[in-house]
Amino acid sequence: MTKKILLIEDEEALQQTMAEYLTDEKFEVLGAMDGQIGLTLAQTKSPDLILLDIVLPKMDGFAVLEEIKKDEKTKNIPVILLTNLESMENIQRAFEKGAVAYLIKADFKLEDVVKKIKEILKM
Amino acid sequence: MIIINDFNLRKQADELGIKVWQTPGFLFIVMGFVSVVIMTATYFISAYYDNPQVLVISECLVVVVVLIVGTSISRFVGQMANLNRMKSEFVAVASHQLRTPLSAIRWETELLLTKLKKGMNKKQVEKMKNISQLSLKMTRLVNDLLDVARIDQDKLILRKQDFDLAKLTQDMLDESVVAYESRHITVSSNIEKDLPEVCGDVEKIKLVLDNLIGNAFKYTTSGGRIHVGLARRNKDMIFEVDDNGVGIPEEQVGRVFEKFFRSDNASKYQTEGTGLGLYISKNVVEQLGGRIWFQSIENVGSKFSFSLPIAKK
């Protein structure tokens, strides 16, 4: 069965590229350009995994993550933080709030991100 | 409990990004001692002179000293905290703002070269690969500068985990084999079998290996040789890379791990390089509980080694 990935990313070029790559890898991709829409999609579309940026308009990634983990319907969806913000405080905060991985966009190839997704989804 | 927490000097120092002796708590303790000493002196002076005027003047003096020192301390701490906050903000902004467009370029080229390659001719593929490599180089440069800024603030990010250093070393050698062959450099390796895992930050150690092996490759002339070794020694794993390249002039060996240092012959031989790789490598290895060292003779070659603690099972 096709796995559904929700991609919450405000940088259009990054979102498009990632979506195209994931689609080619046979994933179904849902996209959101801000935190609020992202959260709504997480609650209504039941994705199998969420790729979440931190710096987002309307609601930042940490607030979205917190809401996702509070909600009974969404709390079991694995969330990968995919960001270029790198600080020990952010990394700790992400894991404390329930993220399963913290990846730095600049250091990871699309291929590596997909590998991580497949590893988490046990594909 | 709150008072004890407020006087947690290490915590204060970490929060403000300053040394323990510069923290407000520590400086106020010192000021307290100074006040006690002055007041004791005042007591003895007034007892000796038996004159209330001397006591009043001495006490006024204590108040003035406390006020002056206290104001200076708080101004100094404020300035330090401000400076450190600005540095941290710069690192955060730089890391996000510079790396986002670079990530986009890297991902776009990766997509083109893997999923959308069909229809591109050989020349176009070659050009795309060049863009990909250049953006990777630019990302590396930005990351190096950010790491240096973090090292200077004692905030280098290290994510410790157990990993297979032997496999990582072998993978890195395999990835570079085409480049070595194109330069007619002979590469040999001696990686012991069944080595245990080490404890460290795999991404940062990858960077250290890349720096050390990359330097050997950069500063070895065509037709030269490079040897890589990995072995267990007691509770450590020892990595070494040996070359017969240009070496380091004797008068400059003491400066090899300095920030931005590049030896004179290295700059002549290879214009590319920032002088940050070995500085970062030293800090990474040492913060992970290891050691880094080298031997080098100009025009004969260099041998760089580092140790890392073996993972506790």
Say if residues A106 and A84 touch (Cβ distance below 8 Å): yes
pLDDT at B28: 76
B108 at interface of A, judged by CB pairs closer than 8 A: yes
Please give the tally of structural domains in chain B: 2
SS3 category, B221: coil
| Interface predicted TM-score of the whole assembly (ipTM), two decimals | 0.86
Say which of B103, B110, B157 has its CB closest to residue A84: B103
Which pLDDT band, with edges at 50, 70 and 90, does B15 fall under?
low
Cα gap B84→B153, rounded to integer Å: 8
Q: Per-residue confidence at B271, pLDDT binned at 50, 70, 90?
A: low
Cβ atoms of residues A101 and A82 within 8 Å: no
Q: Which two tokens stand for residue A15?
A: 């979102």
Q: Which of residues 78-107 of B touch A (CB under 8 A)?
A: 91-92, 95-96, 99-100, 102-104, 106-107
**Which residue blocks in B23-156 are alpha helix, DSSP H?**
24-49, 52-114, 122-152
Q: Report the alpha-carbon distance of residue B140 to residue B128 in Å, rounded.
A: 18
Q: At what angle do helices B9-16 and B24-49 cross, to 10 degrees?
A: 120
How far apart are alpha carbons B164 and B172 in whole angstroms?
13
B99 and A84 within 8 Å at the Cβ level: the answer is yes
Domain match, B134 and B19 both: yes
Assign domain A25-85+99-123 one CATH number from 3.30.365.10, 3.40.630.10, 3.40.50.2300, 1.20.140.10. 3.40.50.2300
Lowest mean pLDDT among A73-87, B90-104, B124-138, B196-210: B90-104
Contact at CB, B95 and A86, closer than 8 angstroms: yes
Q: Of B99, B131, B155, which residue is a domain's last?
A: B155
Give the domain ranges of chain A.
Answer: 25-85+99-123
Q: How far, in Å, CA of B52 to CA of B39, rounded?
A: 15
Q: How far is B85 from chain A (nearest CA, A)?
A: 14
| Lowest mean pLDDT, pick from A33-37, A83-87, B203-207 | A83-87
Instruction: State which of B155, B188, B219 marks the end of a domain.
Output: B155
pLDDT in tens, B67-114: 887 788 778 777 877 877 777 677 777 777 888 899 999 999 999 999
Long-range contacts, B266-272 (Cβ 8 Å, 24+): B266/B219, B269/B219, B270/B218, B270/B219, B272/B218
Instruction: Identify the domain containing residue B74 by its residue range.
Output: 1-155
B115 touches chain A (CB under 8 A): yes
pLDDT value of position B78: 77
CB distance A85–B95 less than 8 Å? yes
Asked if residue B177 and residue B120 are part of one domain, the reply reads no
Question: Looking at the structure, do residues B170 and B151 belong to the same domain, yes or no?
Answer: no
Kindly report, residue by residue over B30-47, the tens digit of the pLDDT: 878 877 887 788 777 777
CB contact under 8 A, B114 and A11: no
**CB crowding A99-118: b at 16 or more within 10 Å, else e:** bbbbbbbbbbebeebbebbe
Asked whether B219 and B269 are in contact (CB, 8 A), the reply is yes
What is the pLDDT of chain B when averaged over all its residues?
Answer: 85
Record: contact B110-A110, CB cut-off 8 A: yes
Which positions ≥6 away from A76 have C-beta within 8 Å? none
Q: Is B203 on the interface with A (CB under 8 A)?
A: yes
Query: pLDDT tens digit string along A9-41?
Result: 999 999 999 999 999 999 999 999 999 999 999
pLDDT tens per residue, range B162-184: 999 999 999 999 888 777 777 88
**The domain boundary residue, chosen from B130, B155, B180:** B155
* CA pair distance B201, B220, nearest whole angstrom: 28
Q: Please indicate, yes or no, whether residues B167 and B77 belong to a single structural domain of this protein.
A: no
Q: Is the CB of A17 less than 8 angstroms away from the CB of B143?
A: no
B50 and B195 in a common domain? no
Question: Cβ of B106 and A20 within 8 Å?
Answer: no
Judge if B146 and B169 occupy the same domain.
no
Residue B269: HSE in the Cβ half-sphere, 13 Å Cα cutoff: 19
Question: CA angle, corner B186, sides to B182 and B189, nearest 5?
Answer: 125
Q: Contact, B185 vs B220, CB < 8 A?
A: yes
Query: In this predicted structure, what is the pLDDT of residue B1?
Result: 41
- Are B117 and B13 in the same domain? yes
Nearest beta carbon to residue B96 from set A85, A91, A110? A85
